[in-house]
Structure 1
Amino acid sequence: MQLKYSAPRGTEDFLPARVQLLDWIHGSCRRELERHGYLEIRPPLFEDTSLYRRAIGDVTDVVEKEMFTCERGDTSVTFRPEATAGVARAYLENKLDKVRPFQKFYYIGPMFRFERPQAARQRQFEQIGVEAIGSHDPRLDAEVIHLAGRLLDRLELGGYRIHINTLGDKEDRARYRTALEEYVEPQLAEFCAECQARFQRNVFRLVDCKNRDCQRLMSDAPDLLSRASDATRKHFDDVQNALGALGRSFEIDPRIVRGLDYYTHTVFEVRMPGLGARDTLVGGGRYDDLLEELGGPAIPAIGFSLGVTGTLLALQKAGIADEHASEPPCTVFLAAIGDSERLAALVLADELRQSGLIVDLDYEGKSPKAQLRTAGKRNARIVLVLGESERARGVIQVKNMGDSSQRELPMDGDLAFELQRMLEGESTRTAQGEGD
Structure 2
Amino acid sequence: MIINPRISVIHSRIPFLKADEKLLLILVVGMLEPRLEISRWNVLTDSAPQLAKRLGFSKELAFSCFRKLEESGIVEAVFDQGRVGRPRKFRAVVPRSWDDGETLLRTRKSCLNAICFNLIESRLMEPNSFPLKNSLLMLTLALLAESDDTGVVAQSSHSDLSKLTGIPKAQISRRLRQLKTAGVIAENIPGLLAGSFLGQANSIHYLNLEHPVLTGAGMESHPLPIKGRAIEQPEIDQILKRRGAPGPDDRLSSAEKAAKEDPIPRKVSAISPESWEENAGDALNHEPSKRYLQAAIERHAAKLIGNPLSIMPKGLWREQQDVAANEFIETLLGPAYSAAKVDSTHTRMFYRLCADLEELAHHLADTCLKKRSELERTKRDSPDSHYRILPSGHLKRPTLRLERVTHTNRYHHRQQLPPIP
- TM-score, normalising length from structure 1? 0.23
Q: Which one has the bigger strand percentage?
A: 1
Choose 1 or 2 for highest CA Rg: 1
